[in-house]
Amino acid sequence: MFVDKVTVDVQAGDGGNGAVSFRHEKYVDKGGPDGGDGGQGGSIVVRSSRNNNTLAEFRYSKLLKAESGQAGSKRKRHGKNAKTLVVKVPIGTVVTDEKGTIMADLIDDGQEVIIAKGGNGGYGNAHFVSSTRQVPRIAEKGEPGQKLSAQFELKMIADVGLVGLPNAGKSTFLGAVSNARPEIADYPFTTLSPNLGVVDIDDNSVLIADIPGLIEGASQGKGLGDEFLRHVERTAVLIHLIDAYNEKVDLAYKTIIDELAAYEVDLSRKPQIIAITKIEGLDDEIINAKIAEINKICPKTTLVTAISSQSGVGVKELLRKVAVLVTKNRQKIEEIEMTETVPVLTLEDTSDSWQVEKTKKGYVVSGEKIERFASRTDFENPHGVERLRDIMRKMGIMHDLERKGIDAGDDIIFKDHGSIEY
């Protein structure tokens, strides 16, 4: 089954907890702290693979979860790091988060991107030894791994896209010029998923995608058109096929162009060649009249030709012109990419910043750095809580709480991580 859009829950592994431990050996009096650090939680990586061509495996497996790191132990033993979970997806897969932000755009075979980072392991008490703290009873909890809902969307990468109304002859054309074997029948909507075929043209080869037939309203989802149009986005050139037996070839042309233009990305501006198909058995006068009808409404720079996929008439000439157009357009894109200057943005480091908000439940403290410390604090361990208080004093948070009127017994809340009393 071809599936090209899925939503999955992604959960990286938590870091392992640090250990509180002291040496207990024969003939060693008052052994020092030897609690080891926790292991790193497993991250989740997406990797593009030429051996995958659908997202079907994620249709019923909605959770991607990496293992957590192991806890540290005595004798300063570091907890085992969890393995990275590698998820293979087809080339052309785009991964976005809940806000629609693109996290990965995988266009090359073997490309990898981390979409969820595993939590860092917590420090064991051996880490906290100092000249003033000889017997630390503090150990950190491991950080939680990143969690999110991600959308995987496959946008086929092809040089050429075949577009046209249902039964325009797209599958027949692809089967005639390539090694692809799409289902072909004399009724609309035979093709229910995009097909790919490699076409050799003289010394060149191009990858052609057969996009399922579009109908009026496709850009708004009618006939699943919006689901299929995404596969046109990455193509360099379009071959627009129109059935010669359609009584209104001009209307057939305009229907497809309007849908391409109405899509979220204007696809009607892509270079294209228009081909009147199924001309076997028709005389030249009828064929030329059909071409003239299209020429009246299409841009003057657009080539309009006529072909027969069954007999091969005009096919090789069409493919040669397509190859030239693909090469020209790809070079143009590369030149634009080389000449474009990317502005360098200097972002202010806000990791140390924090905010205190007074609420009915207490005083909510937020901020990247302080929340990370809170996530690593064992709120059941008074020594760990006291360390968190010390950190808040050094960062100036306690002073701000006092300025805002905090009283003894009021709660200091760290969102999802826990709370302490002032």
CA-nearest of 305, 248, 304, 310 to 280 is 310
> How far apart are the C-alpha atoms of 121 and 71, rounded to whole Å?
8
Residues near 331 by Cβ (< 8 Å), separated by ≥ 6? none
Nearest to 91 by CA among 55, 130, 137: 55
Q: Summarize the chain as % helix, strand, coil (round to 5).
A: 25, 25, 50
Q: Are strands 93-96 and 102-105 parallel, antiparallel or unpaired?
A: antiparallel
Q: Do the Cβ atoms of 356 and 401 come closer than 8 Å?
A: yes
d(CA 131, CA 338): 57
Cβ(20)–Cβ(138) below 8 Å: yes
Give 364's Cβ-side CA count (13 Å radius).
8
Residue 121: CB atoms within 10 A of its CB come to 32
Task: Give the closest residue to 7 by CA, choosing from 47, 46, 49, 63.
Answer: 63
- Full strand arrangement of the beta sheet holding 419-421: 355-358, 363-366, 411-413, 419-421
Q: Six-digit token pair at 315?
A: 């096919």
SS3 state of residue 170: helix
Q: How far apart are CA 371 and CA 388, in angstroms?
A: 10
For residue 137, give every residue at least 6 positions away whose Cβ sits within 8 Å of its Cβ, in sequence order, or none: 20, 125, 381, 383
CA angle, residues 306, 307, 311, in degrees to nearest 5: 150
pLDDT value of residue 356: 93
Ranges of H-type helices in 53-185: 170-177
Whether residue 171 contacts residue 195, with contact meaning beta carbons closer than 8 Å, is answered with yes
pLDDT per residue as tens, the chain (422 positions): 456 789 999 999 999 999 999 887 666 556 688 999 999 999 999 999 988 877 888 887 889 999 999 999 998 999 999 999 999 998 889 999 999 899 999 988 999 999 999 999 999 999 888 777 788 888 999 999 999 999 998 887 788 989 888 888 888 898 888 865 544 444 444 444 567 788 888 888 888 888 775 655 544 544 444 566 777 888 889 999 999 999 899 999 999 898 888 888 888 988 999 999 999 989 999 999 999 999 999 998 899 999 999 999 999 999 999 999 988 887 776 665 555 544 444 445 556 789 999 999 999 999 999 999 999 999 989 988 999 999 999 999 999 999 999 999 999 999 888 899 98
CA angle 193, 275, 211 (to 5 degrees): 10
179-211 core/surface letters (b: 16 or more CB in 10 A; e: else)? ebebeeeeeeebbebbbbbebebeeeebbbbbb
pLDDT of residue 351: 67
**pLDDT of the residue at 52:** 84
